[in-house]
Chains A and B, each alone.
Chain A
């Protein structure tokens, strides 16, 4: 990508970190709302505005220096250093941190599943037909189970559903072909920004998937099972999915994917990842049941 698109890519990553932090601390913020609504809002807005201004200055700077059309590569020293730092941040936050994972609910799992299925059907993920059928049947059964079961799940089942949700996000990052997009020459401003947002979101979730996989494995020993009971309320809230709103979300998302593929606004896989990200973070905001922080 060119240097000017790279600036927007970095802005997308930085803003997404702020948005994820906000989503993960939704209840903590609400607790302090009574104390000072304006202060909490302004803090986040100041950070976001600061990031946009910084990106604007960098954008103007590369234009003034006439290096806006220079292509960036991981072989360049500063870019490599920057990516090493970003990689370390993601590694530490994904493996040992707890501040950026937005809590989800059954609706988030279902909508993510739906979007990944849409990605597979539109050919963004090349898989053998038997694997596609097996995945399709599993997704259908899980959807029916979550839609028909009207009680909140016990912690271990929640953990398994959450692990499946993380695996879906890992599938999305494979579908995205991040490396290919990074070296794509024809990336426009919108795609560059969207790629930054999606890149950090998916990478953090992929790292967290490794951590969560180990957590799920550790449940083999009965003495470890008590921990999951403390952890899951932070990650998975008990809000039950309502069939009618879910149908509307399904129709809306399907229509959005279809319109994007018709108008060719963004690469299909990138658009699907963006939809997943927006729907997860939006659902945290509209969720009636707050996760326990």
Chain B
């Protein structure tokens, strides 16, 4: 019992040291996650804006359902170019919308011919695309992990504002 408690204590101490040493990296990871979040958000915002301003509506046929890794392939006849394949990204829509699509179905799509995009969106469900915040999930998880690690040992954040002895004396006192 005593050995188990000692091992547990040592594991906790090792974790504590790990979090202390990792905290500067975690701060950087948090900043990078914020940058990624802003980048993803900006890209999505631009896509929605461009689709609203320059998107072309067309009637397409669903080639295959359930979706591939790229999305649901659809085919339609583009004036000047003939038959063209595009993919509908499934993340934007609720499972009900995706399940309702079957091979051979006719759907209204919105695409960007000017940008040579391989993606298209469902024109009837454009509000789902507009209000999609899925891009934020991964960066937010990274931010949360980094934030939790920094909360355990935030001392590095105070560098320059608090003298070293003010940080580490009180830390030592706490441990003793």
Measured CB to CB, the residues of A under 8 A from B are 91, 95-99, 207, 210-211, 214-215, 217-218, 220-221, 223-224, 226-227, 230-231, 234-235
Task: Specify which of B27, B159, B160, B166 is in contact with A214 (CB 8 Å cutoff).
Answer: B27
Which partner residue on chain A sits nearest B160 by CB separation? A98
> Do B150 and A99 touch (CB < 8 A)?
no
Task: Specify which of A207, A214, A215, A227 is in contact with B167 (CB 8 Å cutoff).
Answer: A227
Looking at chain B's contact residues, is the secondary structure mostly helix, strand, loop, or mixed?
helix
CA distance A210 to B31 in the complex (A): 7
> Do B151 and A231 touch (CB < 8 A)?
no
Q: Mark B146-158, 1 if CB is under 8 A from A, else 0.
A: 0100111011111
CB of B30 closer than 8 Å to a CB of A: yes
Instruction: Tell me which residues across on chain B come within 8 A of A97, comparing CB atoms.
Output: 160
Q: Mark B137-176, 1 if CB is under 8 A from A, else 0.
A: 0000000000100111011111111100011001000100
> Do B150 and A218 touch (CB < 8 A)?
yes
Looking at chain A's contact residues, is the secondary structure mostly helix, strand, loop, or mixed?
helix
Task: Specify which of A96, A220, A223, A231 is in contact with B174 (CB 8 Å cutoff).
Answer: A223
> Do A218 and B31 touch (CB < 8 A)?
no
> Do B30 and A231 touch (CB < 8 A)?
no
CB of B34 closer than 8 Å to a CB of A: yes
Which partner residue on chain A sits nearest B157 by CB separation? A215
Instruction: Tell me which residues across on chain B come within 8 A of A224, comparing CB atoms.
Output: 151, 154
Instruction: Tell me which residues across on chain B come within 8 A of A98, comparing CB atoms.
Output: 159-161
Per CB-CB distance, the 3 closest pairs between chain A and chain B, nearest first, are A98-B160, A218-B154, A231-B161
CA distance A92 to B94 in the complex (A): 43
> Do B162 and A230 touch (CB < 8 A)?
yes
